[in-house]
Amino acid sequence: MNQRSAFKSLTIGTLVFWLIVFELFPIAMIVLVSFSTANSSTLYTYHFSLDAYRQLFNPIYIHVLLRSVKTASITTVFCLLIGYPFAYILSRSKLRWKNLLFLFVIIPFWTSSLIRTYAMIAILKSKGIINSVLLHWGVIDHPLQVLFSNTAVIIGLVYNLLPFMIIPLYSNLEKLDYKLIEAAQDLGSNTWRTFFKIIIPMTKAGIIAGCILVFLPAMTIFYIPEILGGAKSLLMGNLIQDQFLFALNWPLGAASCVVLIVILLLTLGIFWRASRSNHRGALL
Amino acid sequence: MAGIIEIHRLSKRFDQQLILDDISLTVNDGEFLTLLGPSGCGKTTLLRLISGFESCDSGQIFIRDKNVTQLTPQQRDVHTVFQSYALFPHMTVFENVAFGLRCSKVSTTEIKARVENILAMVQLSDFSNRKPHQLSGGQQQRVAIARAVVNEPLVLLLDESLSSLDQQLRQSMQIELKRLQRQLGITFIFVTHDQEEALAMSDRIVIMQDGHIIQVGTPREVYEEPANLTAARFIGQLNIFTSRINEVTENQIHYSIEHIERRCKNVKQLKKADPINVLVRPEDLRVWGEHELDPTDHMLPGTIDEVIYKGSTVDLIVRLKSGRLIYATEFFDEDDENLFYNKGESVWVNWLENWEVILIDESA
């Protein structure tokens, strides 16, 4: 065996080892736990049962699941609506402006998302910045109750996840050949037709990648609903966290995880089918 | 107005740099016009001004008597074939060609008929369901042309459209473009930096340099009667001698090159002592072996410096007495089947009287 192939085996081996020990093994554990019986002293016992899944059929949990899907969907749509124009401007602006705009996308990553979410309380609370400004301008007569509501959760999610939408969109729009837009105009195409028939289809891969990168975390980030949402804003991520840390019902927590994984895989599958084979590179 | 396109005193600057300087040009209906010039001469900018992708600083453009200077590309009845083709990669050949018709809300049945008709014309009927990336360069080129001409524009603009093809494909596309142009009767404005292409395809050639039009004429005119040294240099290879008129008699001028006296017709009313450039094309030069002929009046003596065999021709580089090198192209024909020269051989160089072009030397 020469040195080169030894190096190859080593790197691939390390990666496979990592995936097995830290990815596959924990997931297998979760699946296993989800089929075991709850036990308050030892957390769970290896006794096959479907109890945890039966419990999940409780309308309360189904409600939480549906609300999670709804919240994540709304978040994704808002991120797309805000992110697309931003990414378009970013890709078309001159280099100096481009660097500045990029800085705005990157700066949030310099501090912890948790801290920034706490900071949003200061902005959203009834005596916060938004309410003060709106009251001052006379747009509203009394403070809006935004904080501790679903609206606050969605604002927090959109704010935290927007860069994950912008970056894949930007990389697609950047590669878009401007000559194609000129060709469409030359053939008599108006702005709307050019946008929907040329620009959108050409950046479909970026749209799909951005939607996945926003939708999947939006389903599971538990601290944003916890900080910004009220008691009624419980989402899947919070449910799982509660079962593991507070209710100590590990099988139920694990079963929720499994259901979530299945839902996410299905979502990925739908996106995968929606994208054409030549666009799939952007998803991986 | 006479022309299908009238360009009137057009000027364009980019960042203080003058790209087009007071250009006026008439394009005749149905002609194949070529804008020829080195890169940076303004030919592509002129094309983009006609298509509406750039706006001019001053001047006007009329397309069939309508002032289009302020109109957007969508509103102009001209279409462009881009250098990179700019085919829509996510659409089939059929959809690419149909795009312009869909924009102008043509009925579905008519779209189908017209697209199929034009695809047949460019011999791509069997490819209508392919995607652009499944086509060869030449086929993509034909789709780009079909996509533009299916809308029946008044003028088709072609921006260096053949320059990305290889030599052989390029020649067959040149023939095909000419055929299409005749068949459709549409005016073509073709931009190129390739002088051979310009000569082969055009009805008229516009030679541009540094934002100016130097000369407009048929291929034959610009080749045989270049307006100035730049135009002459740009089209074909050239030997240029500087001289001064020794004498003017009746309608002839006398000048000397390398101390050999020659004469030719005084076409341009030149006067005695005028500084001139004498232009002789390599193919107009005749090179004779030392013992091939007896009287050698008015011939330039020299020695063969290099022989380049090119199949149908032999290119010679001849060193004249003064040491300067000139280029001569000799053709194989019945008169001279044995074109055989040795390096270092002494020769006589000659050309037929009046075959040279005399230009007044503005730099002197």
Per-residue pLDDT 10s for chain B (364 aa) are: 578 999 999 999 998 889 999 999 999 999 999 999 888 889 999 999 999 999 999 999 999 999 999 999 999 999 999 988 999 999 999 999 999 999 999 999 999 999 999 999 888 999 999 999 999 988 999 999 999 999 999 999 999 888 878 888 888 888 888 998 998 889 999 999 888 889 989 999 999 999 999 999 999 999 888 888 888 888 778 899 989 889 888 888 999 888 888 888 888 888 888 899 999 999 899 888 877 777 777 888 899 998 888 878 888 999 998 888 999 988 876 555 566 788 888 888 989 888 888 888 877 6
Name the pLDDT band for A283 (thresholds 50, 70, 90): very low
- Partners of A180 on chain B (C-beta within 8 Å) are 86, 88
- Partners of B99 on chain A (C-beta within 8 Å) are 184, 187, 189, 197
Sign, CA torsion B294/B299/B303/B308: negative
Interatomic CA distance for residues B300 and B323, integer angstroms: 12
Interatomic CA distance for residues B12 and B29, integer angstroms: 25
Cβ atoms of A153 and A71 within 8 Å: the answer is yes
Cβ atoms of A136 and A56 within 8 Å: the answer is no
- Domain range list for chain B: 5-224, 239-360
Q: How many residues does chain A have?
A: 284
Cβ atoms of A229 and A148 within 8 Å: the answer is yes
Measured between CB atoms, which of A182, A187, A201 is closest to B103?
A187
Task: Tell me if residue A223 falls in helix, strand or coil.
Answer: helix
- Residues A222-239: pLDDT tens digits? 888 888 887 677 788 888
Measured between CB atoms, which of B79, B84, B88 is closest to A186?
B79
Distance from the Cα of B53 to chain A's closest Cα (Å) equals: 8
CATH code 3.40.50.300 for B5-224: yes
Name the pLDDT band for A40 (thresholds 50, 70, 90): confident
Mean pLDDT (chain A) is: 87
What residue ranges in chain B does DSSP mark as E strands?
5-14, 17-27, 32-36, 58-63, 66-67, 78-81, 155-159, 187-192, 204-209, 212-217, 239-249, 252-257, 260-265, 275-280, 286-289, 300-309, 313-320, 325-331, 346-350, 357-360
Is A42's pLDDT higher than 80? no
Interatomic CA distance for residues A278 and B295, integer angstroms: 75
Residue contact A187–B79, C-beta within 8 A: yes
Of residues B87, B86, B57, B62, the one with CA closest to residue B76: B62
User: Dihedral (C-alpha) A137, A140, A145, A149: value to the nearest 10 degrees?
Assistant: -90
For Cα atoms B58, B59, B63, give the angle at the middle one, nearest 5 degrees: 140
Residue contact B73–A184, C-beta within 8 A: no
In terms of C-beta density within 10 A (0-12 exposed, 13-18 middle, 19 or more buried), how is residue B323 classed? exposed
Residue contact B51–A186, C-beta within 8 A: yes
- Structure-token pair, residue A233: 């804003």
Interatomic CA distance for residues B187 and B181, integer angstroms: 7
Interatomic CA distance for residues B2 and B291, integer angstroms: 59
Cβ atoms of B66 and B125 within 8 Å: the answer is no
* pLDDT score at B298: 83
Domains, in order of start, for chain A: 55-283 (1.10.3720.10)
- What are the backbone dihedrals phi and psi of residue B353, each rounded to the nearest 5 degrees, phi first? -55, 135
* pLDDT score at A20: 92
- Residues A234-255: pLDDT tens digits? 788 888 888 888 888 889 889 9
Q: In Å, what is the CA distance from B29 to each residue of B154, B189, B239?
A: 9, 11, 37
Q: How many alpha carbons fall within 13 Å on the CB side of residue B159?
A: 25
* pLDDT score at A125: 82
Highest mean pLDDT among A3-7, A158-162, B164-168, B296-300: A158-162
- Structure-token pair, residue B305: 């410096």
What is the average pLDDT across A107-113?
86
What is the average pLDDT across A117-133?
84
- Structure-token pair, residue B54: 């750039």
Helices (H) and strands (E) in chain B, counts: 8, 20
Residue contact A201–B100, C-beta within 8 A: no
Q: How many residues does chain B have?
A: 364
Distance from the Cα of A99 to chain B's closest Cα (Å) equals: 23
* pLDDT score at B124: 92
Is A274's pLDDT higher than 90? no
Task: Tell me if residue A198 falls in helix, strand or coil.
Answer: helix
Is A2's pLDDT higher than 80? no
- Structure-token pair, residue A61: 């949990």
- What are the backbone dihedrals phi and psi of residue B321, each rounded to the nearest 5 degrees, phi first? -55, -40
- Residues A173-224: pLDDT tens digits? 999 999 999 999 999 999 999 999 999 999 988 998 899 899 988 988 888 8
Q: How many cross-chain Cβ pairs, A to B, lie less than 8 Å apart?
A: 55
* pLDDT score at B333: 65
Q: Say which residues have a Cβ less than 8 Å from residue B131's Cβ, sequence separation at least 6.
A: B89, B90, B91, B92, B93
Residues of chain A in Cβ contact (below 8 Å) with chain B: 177, 179-180, 182-190, 193, 197-198, 201-202, 204
Residue contact B82–A179, C-beta within 8 A: yes
Taking CA–CA distances from B147, the nearest residue in chain A reads A187
* pLDDT score at B112: 95
- What are the backbone dihedrals phi and psi of residue B240, each rounded to the nearest 5 degrees, phi first? -120, 125
CATH for B239-360 (2.60.40.1840, 2.60.40.10, 3.40.50.10490, 2.40.50.140): 2.40.50.140
Residue burial A193-212, b: 16+ Cβ < 10 Å; e: rest: bbeebbbebbbbbbbbbbbb
